[in-house]
Every structure is written in structure tokens, then in C-alpha cells.
Amino acid sequence: MLLDNPILIQPGPAAATPLFLLHDGGGTIFNYFMLGDLDRPVYGIQDPKFGTADQWEGGMEEMARLYISFIRSAVPQGPILLGGWSLGGLTALEIARILAGAANGLRVRGLILIDSPLPEEWANHRDRFVNADVSVTETTSAKTKQAVDWRMDECDRLLDGWRAPRWQQTDQARAEPTPLRHQRAHGPLQHHMRRRALPPPELPLPGSPPPAVLLRATERVPVPAGSKPGSLVDVDLDRDSTLLGWDRLEYPLLHAVYDIPGHHFDIFEGHDRLDAITELLGRVSREMDV
């Protein structure tokens, strides 16, 4: 297991905004090493507690603040892009929240959520959820499988106590929400956000969130044989929604959604799927890097 944070996954032109990819719920960044050239510096941050059952006593905020220190060790100031698969996308959003409320030299230019659903409704559907043993391959050692299982358990605990950050909106933003771009294989479609009231946050953040893009897997994770009707894996609770549940927020977080092939746990498997993710990450990063 790599011990340093952050890990330089891809070197790139100094003029390009660096992209930091945060680990998934299993704590690893292995899949990011399989991506093609993104033409910019790409760093990975893995869970420093990997290999243990240790908890983040301070929740997602404690984890995010530590990861900010990792980011600063590589890029002390200037613009950055943040993203990640699953939990990684949510961690990127938490980091953006902390940086938005601090006087510092780091500026989040954009967020890329790689199939990161909004988990705030999951606690109300626990009776429907089943576990899918898809986090490791057949050749994975028992020791590594145990390490991944520990981090996945901690991921569930973190998400149970996490609420997505809320930003204040200007009167103009409320009156004129940004249309959402939804990209499918046959070209762009226009959608508008559906919003409903949620309990107000204690400390809403001023201004607007960084531009965020969602890469959305189109298929459902197969459930184990013998599961009761209506069972699903938690990440698929809002799979039929274009926004994977993010339309529950009071403000339009997502600027675009791109459908990608596969289900939540196999989107990095196979050359075609890796090529699709690489192409989208490259395109979105370039659009944000202006």
C-alpha cells in the first residue's frame, strides 16, 4: 500500500490546474492509476487509516481538513480541481465547503463527482438495502479484503452523520436557476432542477458553490440471489433520477450530468469504460480550467 499523501498519479503542464482525486469508500485510489492522460497534474489521496478499523471521530469534516493539509503540501496556493468516485466526490464537496469559509490561498475551480449519489435519504430506506460483495476481485488477498471491508464500514458510519453543505443564494440565482446539461450518447439535453424545501443549515455559506459535474452510471448493481423483491444496493436508491438525488438540495449544485456505462462498482472495468471516463474527465477538467 502506498504510504504518502498526496500521490502524484500523472505529471502534467505546470500551467494546467491540478486535479485532486479522493479515495472511494474502500479507501483506495488504485482505479485512478488506470486512467488515460488528462493533460494536467493529477494527484490521488488515499485513506491514511487504510488497513485499520479506526474511525474518523470528527466525521467527514475531520477527514476533509486533514486532506486539505495534504493538498497544501503539493499546491500551497492557487486554483485546484477536486473530484472522486463515490465517497470521494462527497469528500471533495466537503473540502470545498471548508475552503469556501476560510481565508486561504486555495481556490476550488470545480468539482467532479464520479457516480456520487446524495446519501441523505438512505437512513429512511435501510430495510430495502442489501450488500453487494463487489469491492474486491477474486485474486485479492484476505488481508486486503478485510482492510477494504473495514473502510467500507467506516464509510457507512460517516455518511449516516453527514449532510451536504448548503450555500446561500442571491435573489437572481433563485429567480434564474442555471439549466442542467445532461449528456447522453446522442447529444445534450436540457433539464431544469427540481427543488423542494429541506431544513435550513445552521451556517449557510455565502455565494455560490464551485461548478459541479456528475458522471452517472446508468445501470443498477446486481443484488444477491434470493433477495426479497424491491431490494437494492444503497447507491441505487436514486438510480432512476438524472441527478442521483441531488435535486433534493435547495440550490442547483450540478451544472452538467454525463451518463457513463456500467454500474456503480464496475465503471472502471474494461478498456471501453476507462476510455469513457478518461475522455469525460479530460473534457470537464478543460472546461473548468478557464
In a domain, 2, yes or no: no
User: Which residue has better confidence, 136 or 69?
Assistant: 69
In a domain, 1, yes or no: no
**CA nearest neighbour of 257 among 114, 108, 83, 121:** 114
pLDDT, average across residues 44-51: 96
The mean of the pLDDT values for the chain is 86
pLDDT at 112 over 50: yes
Q: How many domains does the chain have?
A: 1
What is the distance between the alpha carbons of residues 63 and 68, in angstroms, rounded to a whole number?
Answer: 9
Contact 63, 71 (CB under 8 A): no
- Which pLDDT band holds residue 204 (cuts at 50, 70, 90)? low
User: Would you state the pLDDT for residue 205?
Assistant: 66
pLDDT, average across residues 44-68: 96
Domain that holds residue 260: 7-288
Predicted structure pTM score: 0.88
User: Would you state the pLDDT for residue 139?
Assistant: 74
CATH code of the domain containing 118: 3.40.50.1820
User: Would you state the pLDDT for residue 239?
Assistant: 96
pLDDT digits (tens, 9 = 90+) for 260-277: 999 999 999 999 999 999
